[in-house]
Amino acid sequence: MTNTKLTDHSASNSPTHVSNEYGSEADEDEYAEEEDWTVSETIIRPFTLQLPPPLLPMTSSVVQSHDAKPTESAPAPKFPPPARPGDPVKWPSQEQRIPGKPGNLNISGLVTFDRRDRVELSHCYLERNLVTNGGWLDNVVWVVNTKNKSDLAYLDEILARSPLYLKSDHAEMRRTVSRETMYIKIEDIVWFAKDTIERLVARKLISHDALAISANIVNNPPVNFLHYHAGALHPYLPDLPKGFNFSAPESKAEQGDGKSGSKQVQELAEKVGEHSTLFKALANHVHNITWKSSGYPNWTGPEDFVWSSDWNIPLPNHRWLRVPDDRALNRTPVAHFTYEGGRSKNESWAMASQQHYSLLENIEKEKLNLYKFDRPWDVKDDYIQLSFLAILGGDILDTDILDRLDIQGDTLQRDTGRPILIEGTALAAHFNFMHQDGVPTTDLLARYKSLAADQACLAPSPSASD
């Protein structure tokens, strides 16, 4: 397998915020001015890891020996000892890059390549995490799961960016797994923090009995229920166009079953033809967008309006806006969260969307600590989507864990006698499940693309320029 050389793409400007309101075909309102946000990083000395030896020349082949041995013995990572047995490890502050990749450990990304609109986001964060850019990933294997020619051509663009980018398919990947390599499995992830991979690896190195370590993932049970109760979710509602009848009894709190409001939304969506002014305004909106919630007006509407979590999908490329009163959370979709049978229930597309808009707000306001917990969460028989996890190659070869999309109440952990843990300080965002097909009708992918261009993409980048 060979990779082409790094290509030269022209740099592009980061997307700017929207300037026109699209709520009405006739009226135009100015968006709120975007504040001048300057985020200053606080340098905090992290826990000590031994610095790696100078990098050896890398091969571009995906083939590795199953019996490969670590190149050179290196001291184990050193962590500050807890004050008392059972006390949590003292981690660095949020989103600080952790230096000192263990020199005797090969770390490889296993990233599913199926939907371009997801990959063009995740690749920016992955590129930042390559060892050549100061990260911990020795290489990234893109596991192809599509036959779309256009998407495969885009993958070729990505492969050309680094000799550490490799291409494989599922069968080949299984044959080339090395037992001693630490693998970071990623699928349908649209954002992860600067320190997520380091924290997953660090937790796995001190949790020898764990089968795998999962990230703390937004829109992934069981932790989304915890995020709700920890105050990480905020009141957001869809920006409905002019003509929605807020006075309908079924649209008000504690009245009716919401069917009338749902019908209104469906009828409005059906009226938005591809040649209408509103449709064009919505399409233009996602090409002129900022990820920051401060760049948008607040949601306006009656104080007793409730958006039902099971209403039909609204307009294409529609946006959600912040309700200024935090007490309004109880009339937004996430208020319907329940926890039952080892997972949070009622995970509608609206709940997922609200989680994503809340995450973007928390990133802007530097409030990611709202999601975090120190002690690892033992999944036990709870449900978990296997979207972002660290696992040793030997455990991949000895189990079928990578053949599973999720785990709940099966025999894997019981048969192996080894838990799957969630690392509460390693943050990521999973875009949507199959039953959350309304999430892609929002402007969230465009907002995440703006975020990646602003904070992660190395210019020139296919993600930033397309």
Domains plus CATH for the chain?
A: 107-228+368-465 (3.90.550.60), 231-364 (no CATH)
Phi, psi of 401 (to 5 degrees): -60, -35
Give the confidence band of 284 by pLDDT, cuts at 50, 70, 90. Answer: low
DSSP 402: G
pLDDT (0 to 100) of residue 403 = 77
DSSP 31: P
Give the confidence band of 309 by pLDDT, cuts at 50, 70, 90. Answer: low
**CA-CA-CA-CA torsion sign (255, 260, 265, 268):** negative
CB neighbourhood size of 315 (10 A): 21
Give the confidence band of 384 by pLDDT, cuts at 50, 70, 90. Answer: confident
Bigger pLDDT: 150 vs 310: 150
CA distances from 4 to 142, 159, 367 (A): 15, 7, 41
CA distances from 141 to 1, 158, 370 (A): 12, 11, 32
Please say if the pLDDT value at position 12 is more than 90. no
Please say if the pLDDT value at position 365 is more than 50. yes
Distance (Å, rounded) from C-alpha 238 to C-alpha 353? 10
Bigger pLDDT: 284 vs 105: 105
Bigger pLDDT: 141 vs 383: 141
Please say if the pLDDT value at position 27 is more than 90. no
Distance (Å, rounded) from C-alpha 191 to C-alpha 427? 9
The tokens for 397 are: 């070869």
Q: Which of 310, 319, 233, 249 is nearest to 284 (CA)?
A: 319
Q: Which segments of 333-439 are extended strands (E)?
A: 338-340, 343-345, 377-378, 384-385, 388-392, 406-407, 420-430
Give the confidence band of 401 by pLDDT, cuts at 50, 70, 90. Answer: confident
pLDDT (0 to 100) of residue 288 = 72
| Poorest-pLDDT segment among 181-195, 247-261, 317-331, 427-441 | 247-261
Tell me the pTM: 0.74
The chain-wide mean pLDDT, for the chain, equals 75
DSSP 297: P
Q: What percent of the chain has pLDDT over 70?
A: 64
pLDDT (0 to 100) of residue 117 = 87
Give me the residue label for tokens 């002019």.
Answer: 242
Q: Which of 81-90, 214-223, 345-354 has the highest mean pLDDT?
A: 214-223
Distance (Å, rounded) from C-alpha 287 to C-alpha 194? 26
CA distances from 49 to 101, 124, 213, 267, 349 (A): 7, 25, 19, 59, 41
Please say if the pLDDT value at position 294 is more than 90. yes
Per the CB < 8 A criterion, the answer to whether 47 and 201 are in contact is no
Please say if the pLDDT value at position 438 is more than 90. no
pLDDT (0 to 100) of residue 25 = 36
Please say if the pLDDT value at position 372 is more than 70. yes
Per the CB < 8 A criterion, the answer to whether 388 and 428 are in contact is yes
Give the confidence band of 276 by pLDDT, cuts at 50, 70, 90. Answer: low
Helix (H, G, I), strand (E, B) or coil at 219: coil
Q: Which segments of 157-231 are extended strands (E)?
A: 165-169, 182-186, 189-192, 212-218
Bigger pLDDT: 333 vs 343: 333
Mean pLDDT of 39-60: 32
CB neighbourhood size of 403 (10 A): 10
Number of helices (H), then strands (E), in the chain: 12, 15
| Poorest-pLDDT segment among 15-24, 389-398, 427-436 | 15-24
Mean pLDDT of 191-206: 97
| Poorest-pLDDT segment among 165-179, 241-255, 370-384 | 241-255
Distance (Å, rounded) from C-alpha 222 to C-alpha 342? 7
Mean pLDDT of 164-188: 93
Give the confidence band of 237 by pLDDT, cuts at 50, 70, 90. Answer: very high
pLDDT (0 to 100) of residue 348 = 84
Per the CB < 8 A criterion, the answer to whether 248 and 260 are in contact is yes
Please say if the pLDDT value at position 352 is more than 70. yes
DSSP 182: E
Mean pLDDT of 294-299: 94
Give the confidence band of 404 by pLDDT, cuts at 50, 70, 90. Answer: confident
β partners of residue 113: 144
Q: Which of 283-287, 288-292, 306-310, 445-449 has the highest mean pLDDT?
A: 445-449
Helix (H, G, I), strand (E, B) or coil at 232: coil
Give the confidence band of 23 by pLDDT, cuts at 50, 70, 90. Answer: very low
